[in-house]
């Protein structure tokens, strides 16, 4: 089925891009070539780049019978970009991913295997069958963040920072509550789904070898910011737990 035959796309792919001119064209081509059945939209959100990211996005946003593109801009920050893309999306389901496709299409491949679609599918580095090669510092940071989520939020999810495939109607109706401008945005989405009792499935992925090319320097300020963000989220737990409207129910 093509866009000439159906209105609402099956999938919206939201990709924040910051200074990604070197990799963006390949990412757009790979997704467009992969999404050859059903109907999908790919939403590129440039957020404060200082290179030619926007020009690259506009040049390579070529629609196909199965895929249409949108190129948008937002304020700097991954969360700001995700919010802008979600607001512009119309798909039955929404994939939140990154401009370098860190897992390739593993998340989408694993999602296809699920006969019943859960509320959220997470491309999870914490899944026992995932293959991830990371620096020691990054591994410690990931473990520390997971521990903080468990202690502060009571979260049972292994990886809230993976790629997310989310029910589109629910995500759009909740987007105003997801206000973190940066990396905690996806954790807010997962936390809200947990609090509302929705089914969340983590699927295995393989992390691209060049996703983490070197050691990452984690500053004390980053840890403090992470802690404060999670505490603020916990204080809003009743807000995240409230359904967006009477017609939205956990499955």
Q: Say yes or no to pLDDT of 40 above 80.
A: yes
Q: How far apart are CA 249 and CA 241, in angstroms?
A: 12
pLDDT at 219: 65
Query: What contacts 12, CB < 8 A, 6 or more positions away?
Result: 40, 41, 42, 43, 85, 89, 90, 91, 93, 94, 95, 168
Domain ranges of the chain: 7-101, 103-243
Give 1's pLDDT tier (boundaries 50, 70, 90): low
- Per-residue pLDDT averaged across 127-142, rounded? 77
- Please write the tens of the pLDDT for every residue from 187-227: 999 999 999 999 999 999 999 875 444 444 456 677 788 89
pTM summary value:
0.91
Residues 7-32 have a mean pLDDT of 96
Question: What would the mean pLDDT of 117-135 be, rounded to a whole number?
Answer: 91
Which tens digit of pLDDT belongs to each residue from 161-195?
A: 999 999 999 999 999 999 999 999 999 999 999 99
Q: What's the Cα-to-Cα distance from 137 to each of 127, 142, 147, rounded to whole Å?
A: 19, 9, 15
Structure tokens at 159: 């990886």
Kindly state the tokens that stand for 31.
């997704």
* CATH level 3 topology of 7-101: Spore Coat Polysaccharide Biosynthesis Protein SpsA; Chain A (3.90.550)
Q: What single DSSP character describes residue 76? A: S
Question: What secondary structure letter does DSSP report for 131?
Answer: B
pLDDT at residue 79 above 80?
A: yes
Q: Which pLDDT score is estimated for 143?
A: 81
Q: What is the DSSP code string of 190-203?
A: HHHHHHTT--EEEE
Please report, rounded to a whole number, the percentage of residues in the chain having pLDDT higher than 90.
80
Q: What is the pLDDT of residue 224?
A: 83
pLDDT attached to residue 169: 97
């Amino acid at each position: 089925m093509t866009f000439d035959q159906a209105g609402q796309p099956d999938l919206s792919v939201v990709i924040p891009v910051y200074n990604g001119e070197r990799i963006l064209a390949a990412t757009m081509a790979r997704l467009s070539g992969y999404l050859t059945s059903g109907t999908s939209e790919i939403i590129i959100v440039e957020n404060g780049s200082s290179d030619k990211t926007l020009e690259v996005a506009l040049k390579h946003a070529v629609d196909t019978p199965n895929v249409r593109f949108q190129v948008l801009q937002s304020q700097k920050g991954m969360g700001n970009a995700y919010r802008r893309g979600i607001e512009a999306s119309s798909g039955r389901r929404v994939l939140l991913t990154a401009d370098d496709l860190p897992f390739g299409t593993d998340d989408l491949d694993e999602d296809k295997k699920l006969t019943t679609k859960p509320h959220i599918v997470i491309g999870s580095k914490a899944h026992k069958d995932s293959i991830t090669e990371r620096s020691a510092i990054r591994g410690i940071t990931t473990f520390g963040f997971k521990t903080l989520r468990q202690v502060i939020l009571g979260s049972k999810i292994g990886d809230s920072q993976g790629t997310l495939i989310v029910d589109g109607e629910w995500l759009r109706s909740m987007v105003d509550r997801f206000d973190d401008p940066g990396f905690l945005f996806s954790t807010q989405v997962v936390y809200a789904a947990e609090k509302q009792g929705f089914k969340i499935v983590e699927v295995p992925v393989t992390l691209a070898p060049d996703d983490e090319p070197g050691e990452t320097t984690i500053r004390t300020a980053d840890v403090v910011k992470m802690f404060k963000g999670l505490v603020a989220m916990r204080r809003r737990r009743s807000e995240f737990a409230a359904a967006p409207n009477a017609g939205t129910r956990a499955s």
